[in-house]
Structure formats: structure tokens, C-alpha cells
Structure 1
């Protein structure tokens, strides 16, 4: 406490939220005027010092920042956004239905990306707006954002169309497939993922693997199908490819696998890239009187909750989605800052996570879960 008669320090007094000695506390937060008064400068100087604007002497700038911190001053972020014409928010959008992207638990590919992207955006002072999968309507017209990350855009992607109409920058998580779409993207390397899964199946003894993919034209379907057909030609098996509607979820995967096995009974492995399709495929194999993995092995692309909780647990691929989401945020913010960014970001190489669904049993050895 200062001695009697001394002037109050910068952290006391009625203008800074603390009442005079013996008096009631003032509840209002300190304002920019309070900082200006305590630092003996103008409000404009305070604004420029705290926002990195104008020509303020470095020593004055640091003194103002120190006074603001001592007073507990917090800038009005909404006012700053209005002055700069920025929302300080980016969106995560996708046209993938929740039957595939999230599932009944809402915990899946889309939400794993969202969690990592939100954390990275916040580091840069941006909020992440999570837009439910865009199929119809106009959700992206109604949110105040500076740009967006579009998860695995389809050929005629609704989210991309709405962002273009608004003139907002976007980047893609996964290679864009639409002709002329030159948006920066994070390469999830769908072709390599299939190469790795098929190599694993061959190591486990598969000779007639089949492929089940979504009916759309996302990169994960287009690139995967091309990789599968190359492998079939190289290793001499007849290509067997089935498609299923993403909207149909697990039941669509079940139906596709059941029909495939009825027509091609010699199939000994199923690469169902969509994890929900793989879960349906396991049921179809069992309902058809066969065993997983003894008779038919099953693998999938995304190492998420469904893969780990399926019975048996599914062999899947670590796509390093946390790193991929970080890269997507950095690409987008680079565009917003007007920086010359690389057109493609590449996270670490995907890695197969072998589990019981594809590990053929040997006497005395139990495959890991």
C-alpha cells in the first residue's frame, strides 16, 4: 500500500476497476481511455501500439503494453474485426454425409480433423466454425468467415460452389478432383494408401482381393481405384470393384459386400476404403457363413473409432490427420495473409496398422487386437 498522500499506481483508482481505499470496487473493465490516461498518451497512440499499427516509438510501445497488462486491459475483438473487415474465423466444411464422416457417435474422420484444425487455428487467433456436411441448402452463405477448409471435395462439391460464389479463399484436405480447381491442398495420398493395404494383404496370403469404394468422385475413390487396377494388372488378378452410396452407411457396405461375394466366391480379401463400409462387410462375410480373417480378410483406410471397435478390430491406416489438419490451416492462413504458399502440403507417409481382421492365424499365435 502506498504511503498516505502518495499518488495511486497504475493498477489502482476508479478508472481501472479498483475503488479508492475504503471505497467500493468499480466493476467495469478498463478501457482504452484508461490505458491512455495511465500512460499519458492519446487513445490513438494506444490503439496503434497494441495493434502494431502506425509509427510508435518502440520504447513507448512497450511502455503502453506494460501499462495495459498492469491494468488488465483486454481489446475489443469485435471492434477490431469490424475495423479490419475480418471475421477472424475459418470454416471446416464437407459434403461427406455424417453416415461416413461422423457416424452415430459423431466421432470419426471429420471430427478428428476438426479437433486438430481448431487447435491450430486458435494459435493464430482464429476461431474454427464447424459446418455440418453440406448437401442442400446454403449454410456457408450464413456464416461470417474469412475462408474455409473443404474436406475431400467431390466432383461437383456444394461447399466449394458456395465458397466460390462468396469469393472466399479455400484449401482442400485431399486432392481436388474437379477440372480446373487449382486450390491449394493437403495430399492424403489415397493411391499410396491402397498400395500399402494391398501389399499387406499379399503378405498375409491374399490372391484375389476385391475393392469397395464410395459411389462419388472424391480423390479417395478416384486415386484408390486407379491404384487397385494397377496392382491387379501387375500381380495378375481379375479386378473386382464394388461401389456403395456414402449416404447408405454400414448397410450400403453390407449390401455391396454380400453381392460381391455372391458373384465372386473366390475373393479372399476385401479392401473397403470407407470404414463404415468395412464394418458392414465384416457382417456380410459372417452372415454368408465365412470367417474373418481365416476365409476373407478385411482392411480399411481410416484408423478411427470404428476400425478399433469392430469385431474383429480392423487393419487400417494412420493417415496422420492431426498433421494434415495443421497443414491445411497453415495453407489457408497463408492465403489470407497474401503469402506465396506451396500448392501442395504433404504430411508424413501413411502407415498400416495391422489388426486381427487381416492377420491370418497360425498355430500357437494369437494376432494382436
Structure 2
């Protein structure tokens, strides 16, 4: 038999009134504090009591008042998702880039924890939104060294987690490791296995951890294998156009270029367009690989060999880590992301 066998009294209109925390406490025979702690998984409550309170609340049809919760806790129950990457790289004309894929999964994972997600677009001046947004925490995607978004959020005292390590600092914000070094090795080893001996590297001009690690691995890889080391850095804000220009620079420095590692998908697409204009065939003359297995990689001509970063898992891990910090558990500062998986397509087949 249920502990809550009495129906809630009705309003004068005949409609059942809203079930309150007082009704749950009365039906369970416990204090209001115990009910609050049990339903919010806080405080020290006997597990059996916690389970019974939750069961009775569900049977009564109790639904917490969001407004009351906010007034009581002072929390917004909302987090922001943002990136300092220019829209030419983070989104592109399709607006289905790296950031949007992370956003979709993060929103689902956050909702399961009672948190809403605000997407701060990667547009110039959007950072000003951070001064007024009512948020408890934020996830920053692939931050820059000295990222202005992180600086603003720190000033506000907002909990921060990043997808990809905050670079060039000994005290980064808590982060999910994107395994950028392993990803770079995977791409370079794939090209070298195809007997490519003049492999150029094209990375962005910003100080992001993925660029830092990729450059380090590239220099080590070329030295270890006795290969020439030629790299260029392209301005992120110019997207595919920057990839085309950087490709021209690489060819000027390495006329025998037979493989290109361009971790930024926008750069890889721009580079292939430039190669096509020069009459060079991909992959026969030059193999091209990129990092992010997104819509650009899949719809490029030819389709780009890329890496499955398992962003669905990465996004869920970031939300988990941020939620832990919001709940007072700061024991974890770093979480390892999934191992990268190479997706071979026609650009290097």
C-alpha cells in the first residue's frame, strides 16, 4: 500500500491544487529539510529514506517550482557553451560545424541534470553577452591561451570547464582532454604508411592546445623518420580562403609536397580547392587529411579522411565534469576523452 493514500485537496474551482513539498513531507512523515535534501540529492539522508521520499513524491505527482528553487538556491540552473574560434572555422556556411555538434549533445546531457544550455555564438562581440547572462557555469570549446571568454567568466566567479586544455598555462581550468597528440600521430602515420615523404602541416595561427600538440608531434615525427619539416600557420578568421593561401605557401616552400595534414577542416577544403586549380589530383598527387569528421569532411570533393573524435562522449564528459564542480565536487580537474578513430576516405585512399 502506498504511503500517500490520501488525494490532495482541491481548489475552489474543483481543480486539484499543486502538490507542495509540505505535502510530500507530511505523507512521508519526515521534515521539510529531509525532503529537500532527498529530492535534490544533497545533505546526509539515509539511502532508504531518500528512496522512499522520492517514490512518494512521484506518486503524489510532485513537481518542484523552478522559480522557488532559484530563489532558494540562488542558482540559474543554466550553463553557457561558447568558443573563441571564428565562425569561419567553428560553424561555416552550413552552421553544422564542430561547435554545433558539441552543443547538441551537451544540451541533452545538461537537460538530464536539470540544466538549460545557452549557446553563445562564435561572432565578434558576442563575448559581451557573458557580462549579463544568468548562468551558473560554462563550457569553453578549445580555448586560446589567455582566452578572453575564460577571463570574463573567472571575473564573475562562474565555474568553467573546457573541451581541450587551456594552453600555455600551469593552472588551466578543468578540462576534457581531446587527445590531440594521439590524433596528430594517427594522421601522420596514415600518410607515411602510404609512402608519402614530403608531408606538409597546416595549422591555425591561434595558440590552441590542439595546434600546440599537433606542431610538436609533427616536428618529432618528421625528425624521427628523416622527413623534411615544413609547416604554415593560417588565420582562422579567413576559413577556407586561408587554407587556399596557406597551401600556396606550402607549395612554394616544398614544391614536391605529396601529402598535407590540415587538422582544421575549413583549411583542408580550401587547400584542396587550390590544388585542383593547379591541376594537382587528390589523392594521386597530394593526399589530404583533416581532424574533425564533420559535414565539411564528408561533403568535400573528394571526401576527406578525418578522425572520429567521439564528440558525443566528449560533450557528455564535459557536462559531467562541470556538474560535479557546480555540486561542490572539485576532485577531478582532468578527464581523458575517448581515443581517436581514423575514418579513411577518398582524399587519402
The reply to whether TM is greater than 0.5 is yes
Q: 1:351 to 1:37 in 2, by over 3 A?
A: closer
Structure (1 or 2) with the larger CA radius of gyration: 1
Name the residue aligned to 1:322: 312
Q: Is the 8 A contact 2:80 2:119 kept in 1?
A: yes
Measure how far apart 1:246 and its partner are. 0.8
Measure how far apart 1:254 and its partner are. 1.2
Name the residue aligned to 1:215: 205
Name the residue aligned to 2:135: 145
Q: Is the 8 A contact 1:176 1:183 kept in 2?
A: yes
1:311 equivalent in alignment to 2:307: no
Measure how far apart 1:134 and its partner are. 6.1
Q: Is the 8 A contact 1:32 1:43 kept in 2?
A: no
Name the residue aligned to 2:74: 85
Task: Report the TM-score, using the length of structure 2 for normalisation.
Answer: 0.88
**Any unmatched runs of 5+ in structure 2?**
none
Please give the per-residue CA displacement for 1:134-162, whole angstroms capped at 9, x wherever unaligned.
64341111111111111111012111111
Q: 1:198 to 1:65 in 2, by over 3 A?
A: closer
After alignment, is 121-130 or 43-52 more displaced?
Answer: 43-52
Name the residue aligned to 1:170: 160
Measure how far apart 1:63 and its partner are. 7.4
From 90, 95, 101, the equivalent of 2:84 is 95
Name the residue aligned to 1:240: 230
Q: Is the 8 A contact 2:239 2:266 kept in 1?
A: yes
Name the residue aligned to 2:112: 123
> What is the distance in 2 between the residues matched to 1:31 and 1:309?
53
Three-state SS of the structure 2 residue aligned to 1:105 is coil
Three-state SS of the structure 2 residue aligned to 1:243 is strand
> What is the distance in 2 between the residues matched to 1:55 and 1:347?
32
1:30 equivalent in alignment to 2:21: no
> What is the distance in 2 between the residues matched to 1:238 and 1:100?
28
Name the residue aligned to 1:365: none
Measure how far apart 1:284 and its partner are. 0.5
Q: 1:149 to 1:34 in 2, by over 3 A?
A: closer
Give the number of equivalent residue pairs: 343
> What is the distance in 1 between the residues matched to 2:286 and 2:196?
9
Q: Is the 8 A contact 1:29 1:73 kept in 2?
A: no
Q: 1:216 to 1:34 in 2, by over 3 A?
A: closer
> What is the distance in 2 between the residues matched to 1:246 and 1:214?
6
Measure how far apart 1:336 and its partner are. 1.6
Q: Is the 8 A contact 1:134 1:158 kept in 2?
A: no
Q: Is the 8 A contact 1:285 1:291 kept in 2?
A: yes
From 9, 14, 17, the equivalent of 2:10 is 14
Task: Report the TM-score, using the length of structure 1 for normalisation.
Answer: 0.84
Q: 1:291 to 1:186 in 2, by over 3 A?
A: same
> What is the distance in 1 between the residues matched to 2:338 and 2:108?
19
1:343 equivalent in alignment to 2:333: yes
> What is the distance in 2 between the residues matched to 1:200 and 1:113?
26
> What is the distance in 1 between the residues matched to 2:226 and 2:340?
26
